[in-house]
Amino acid sequence: MAREFSRTDRVGQQIHKEIASILQNEFKNRDPRLGMVTVSSVEVSRDLAHAKIYVTFFENDDELMKEYLTILEDNKGFIRSLLASRMRMRAVPALKFVNDGSLIEGIRIANLVSETRNKDAERARLAGRETDEQDTSKPSEE
C-alpha cells in the first residue's frame, strides 16, 4: 500500500510548524529587530540534507525585507540548533531562508483584475448611456 505523503513532505510540514513556532516565540527575544514574519512554505531535499524556508514579511520596503533576510541568515545556526532540539532526526537539514514574493504578487494581480473590471464596468455604463441617448433622439413610430 502506497503512503499518502512522502517522508520529505512530512519532514517539511514538521519543519514548517517548528520554525514558525521558533520565530514567533524564541527568536523575537534574541533579535527584536526582526519584524512580523510568516513561514509560508518549506521545501526539503530528497536526502533531507537541505531545507528552503520561504518567509513572508509584512513590509513593503525592499531594503527592510533584505535586512530581515540577512538577520535570519545570520542566525540560522541558532534556529537550526533549536530545531534540532525539537525534532527527532539524526541530522537536521541545513537551512536557507528565501523571501516568498507570491503574496505580494497575488495582491498585485488581484488589484490589476479589480481595476480592469472597474474600467470595463465604466465602459459598459457609458456605452449604455450612449445607446439610451440615441434611442431618445429618434422619433417613435406609432
Domain count, the chain: 2
* Same structural domain, 55 and 27: yes
Q: What is the pLDDT of residue 2?
A: 53
Q: Which pLDDT score is estimated for 133? A: 66
Give a yes or no: residue 138 inside a domain: no
Cα–Cα distance, 4 to 10 (Å, whole number): 10
pLDDT at 49: 93
Domain membership flag for residue 142:
no
Q: Is residue 35 part of a domain?
A: yes
140 domain-assigned? no
Distance CA 27, CA 141 (A): 81
Give me the CATH number covering residue 18: 3.30.300.20
Given this model, what pLDDT does residue 27 score? 82
Other C-beta atoms closer than 10 Å to the C-beta of 120 total 10
The predicted pLDDT at position 15 comes to: 93
Q: Does one domain contain both 107 and 92? A: no
| 18 found inside a domain | yes
**137 in any annotated domain:** no
Going residue by residue through the chain, which has 142 residues, state the pLDDT in tens, using 9 for 90 and above.
455 668 889 899 999 999 999 988 888 778 888 888 889 999 999 999 999 999 988 877 888 889 999 999 999 999 999 999 998 888 899 999 999 878 778 888 999 999 999 999 888 888 877 766 666 666 555 4
Cα distances from 26 to residues 21, 22, 34, 122, in angstroms, run: 8, 5, 12, 52
Q: What range defines the domain where residue 125 resides?
A: 102-132
